Amino acid sequence: MQNCIRSLCNANVAHGFKIGKDTSLPVTYVHSMMDPVRGIGEKPPSEKPILAFFAGSMHGYLREILLKYWENKEPDMRIFGPMPRDMEGKRTYREYMKNSKYCICARGYEVHTPRIVEAIMFECVPVIISDNYVPPFFEVLKWEEFSLFVQEKDIPHLRNILLSVPEEKYLALQRVQKHFLWHTKPLKYDLFHMTLHSIWYNRVFQIKPR
């Protein structure tokens, strides 16, 4: 493993992920193989009444802290525990994402979460609360332009942080969505090609000969 380029979902620098050698692989859901862009976007920021949304199981230490500070505290902060996993629960979850300006992507047991890509698809700015997480394709994509990284210790100040962010990030979201889509036959710049590019980039530019 010391001499291999690993492509890992759990890109945790505190647990052996090596920046410049390993690559970070996005965690994604494929909602439709035949129509991967179905349901993407739909609403501009001015039509999204919710400031921030999170719902998820209470695994790991961080999500309990998130709910402690923000569950039922502000009307524009929709922070919940787990939602039903039936069809209606999934539909409600998606509607919350579509109607929210920011989607909270808080780590669970691991540093990664599929919410990051889900948020990008629904044009909800991902707010990544996960210390030591390395985002996918950071060699190419400027994550600071379309997402927000909040340190775990700053959860008590989360609402003030979000209110201070300019809306330019929404425009950037539309430019990066294509990089996180799977297709039955890979298309130029899609997730398949981006993953291969990350591996190629680290192989050519980053790994130093021993």
> What pLDDT, in 10s, does the model give residues 18-48?
998 999 999 888 777 777 777 676 677 788 9
Cα distances from 155 to residues 19, 106, 133, 142, in angstroms, run 26, 10, 16, 23
What is the C-alpha separation between 184 and 58, in angstroms, rounded? 34
What is the C-alpha separation between 53 and 127, in angstroms, rounded? 10
> What pLDDT, in 10s, does the model give residues 78-122?
999 999 989 999 999 999 999 999 999 999 999 988 999 999 989
Q: Please name each of the domains of the chain with its CATH number.
A: 40-178 (3.40.50.2000)
> What pLDDT, in 10s, does the model give residues 145-177?
999 999 999 999 999 999 998 878 877 887 898
pTM: 0.89
Place of tokens 């330019």: 168
pLDDT of residue 30: 77
Q: What pairs with residue 105 in β-bridges?
A: 128
Who contacts 53 (Cβ-Cβ below 8 Å, separation ≥6)?
A: 78, 79, 96, 97, 99, 100, 102, 103, 104, 124
At residue 17, the 3 state secondary structure works out as: coil
User: Do residues 60 and 88 touch, judged by C-beta distance below 8 A?
Assistant: no
